[in-house]
Structure 1
């Protein structure tokens, strides 16, 4: 065999210096397929699986510390086909390998260290780390719980504010209700006091008037009132107020005034007319006798005549009429009560 190798070697040397040697390319075109388990398998992109594994293995070996053992040995040139090297990842991007390159800066090393750090600590803040959070999921859970607690606190605060507002409005409404009730009570009491004072003043006024006015006779009975209908009166209704009393009962002046007329007056019998200062006329009719004369001044309570049954009558009585200054006849009962008298 040595002779064969030698002859082959010589044959190769005899090819001459012009023969060009190319870089060995173990591709499918230059490597003859070998039968058996070591045969190279085809890949869709034209790469051999064994070649890819070889390249990655070499880089991993270097990253794992192969450079330490290779420093005492002469460098060995390793070349890979362009189709393989173009598809291999950048060695600097591999975790734990890129930091071994001499041209890498401290910032690149920091970025590589951060990239190599566990993903469970990503997103942790300094405050969370100080609080004992060691996991990103735990930190996220804590943040969600904190946010939910804050939202619940805000909702509770809002509900409390609404309750306080409702309570304040209810208290204000109750206070207003009580104030309105107190005002109404005070107004009612004031009105009652005013009415009481007014009634008292009216009573005093009437008492004062009563002192200056008098009932025209005594021992009497009211038998007919003003406006009463009947055929006994020529007008069809009664025009005065009748005081039935025994004949000869004294008739008194109701108020001070002047005697305007005194004498016979047809159906009225003997009549005396007393004119007051305001022009009101008081007619005293059916007298049995007259005790005053025309133009005479009389005072309240003076006797001006006596009860009789003269004129158109059915029995002894005093027929009293009240006429306003314009001559209109009014109800004597109402007029007497207005003067504080109650016949």
Structure 2
């Protein structure tokens, strides 16, 4: 650090005219000391000023410092104290390393040569605001020569809004496409389900039909087989009375069997293999033969003119067991046939039973 040269011993003493006519005897030379220049401790209220207050305050302070240094670093005051030299730092090394103040954005106007207060403030505001006009610009905006920050911001906002709208439209379109795909998939699934149901129904119908045909065929085969083991009681006949036919001539009030009208002496054959359970006179039935089959069914052959078998005898299908007659309660020669499953007293329709055994009436 370099020291300022010592202050001159002779100090200028202002006359009375310089201070408005005051007596110069009341003034004396003042030299600052450590005690007199000690800073006042405590909190101080600092008045904030807007605009270029800092720059102006610094300028005023700088002018005061320059004036004091120009005067030799000495001020006069009351008293006759000898002058004291003030050491000032050498700022040349620091100032040489600092950039030009005018090159800093917004600072050039603060140290401009314009001495007018309003012009300096306006220039300071204009200069300080000038760099901000391009602060929001991108490299592309700068290359295109765009200098209006508001227009650039507006363009950027519009671009962002368009991008957002494009994204929203794309999202809506994507959702619509997904909904269409989903609907198409559901329709395809529904069609496939309907087709599968139709195919299943057709298969079920075909299966049912095939089963019915198979059952019918099996029944035909069974009947054909039974037809070989069963036969009608007479070869030539006329049906004159059916099962359940009402009439007063029957004690039960209705006909209990099936009548095969045929000439007297027509052979009566065993319908199926079995055992002769009874053979003899049976009142209103005339001469009657009871043939018991292996399943317990009883076949009654009534109104015979004669019988060729006796009780306990085994017979086979088609074997002659008697002859057609008109014995008992009759109006003419015929065979009265009754069927009693399990030997029950109440019989069933002989015509239906014979058809069930493969016989055609």
Q: What is the TM-score of this pair, normalised by structure 1?
A: 0.66
- Please tell me whether the aligned partners of residues 325 and 335 of structure 2 are also in contact (alpha carbons under 8 angstroms): yes
State the distance in 2 between where 1:189 and 1:131 align. 82
Residue 116, structure 1, aligned to residue 130, structure 2: yes
**Residue 250 of structure 1 corresponds to which residue in structure 2?**
267
Q: How far apart in 1 are the matches of 2:111 and 2:159?
A: 35
Counterpart in 2 of 1:332? Answer: 350
For residues 284 and 130 of structure 1, the distance between their equivalents in structure 2, rounded to whole angstroms, comes to: 128
Check if 1:236 corresponds to 2:253.
yes
Counterpart of 1:145? Answer: 162
Question: What is the TM-score normalised by the length of structure 2?
Answer: 0.63
Is contact 1:309–1:315 with CA below 8 Å preserved after alignment? yes
Tell me the SS of whatever aligns to 1:293. Answer: coil
C-alpha separation in 2, matches of 1:157 and 1:247: 99
Q: 8 Å contact 2:105–2:128 — kept in the other structure?
A: no
The Cα of 1:19 is off from its aligned counterpart by 9.9
Residues 1:96 and 1:261: Cα distance change in structure 2 (over 3 Å): same
Does the Cα contact within 8 Å between 1:224 and 1:241 map onto a contact in 2? yes
Find 1:294's aligned residue among 311, 314, 317.
Answer: 311
- 1:260-271 paired onto structure 2 within 5 Å: 260-271=277-288
Q: Which residue in 2 is equivalent to 1:62?
A: none
- May I ask how many residue pairs the two structures share in their alignment? 258
Q: Which runs of 5+ in 2 are unaligned?
A: 1-15, 27-51, 57-69, 71-103, 114-125, 147-151
* Partner SS, residue 330 of structure 1: coil
State how 1:104-183 maps to structure 2 within 5 Å: 115-117=129-131, 119=133, 121=134, 123-125=136-138, 129=141, 134=146, 135-183=152-200
Asked if 1:97 corresponds to 2:115, the answer is: no
Q: Does 1:223 align with 2:229?
A: no
Matches within 5 A, 1:29-40: none
> Aligned equivalents of 2:332 and 2:145: distance in 1?
126
Task: State the alpha-carbon separation in 2 of the partners of residues 174 and 131 from structure 1.
Answer: 62
Change in 2 beyond 3 A, CA 1:223/1:19: farther
| Root mean square deviation of aligned Cα | 3.6
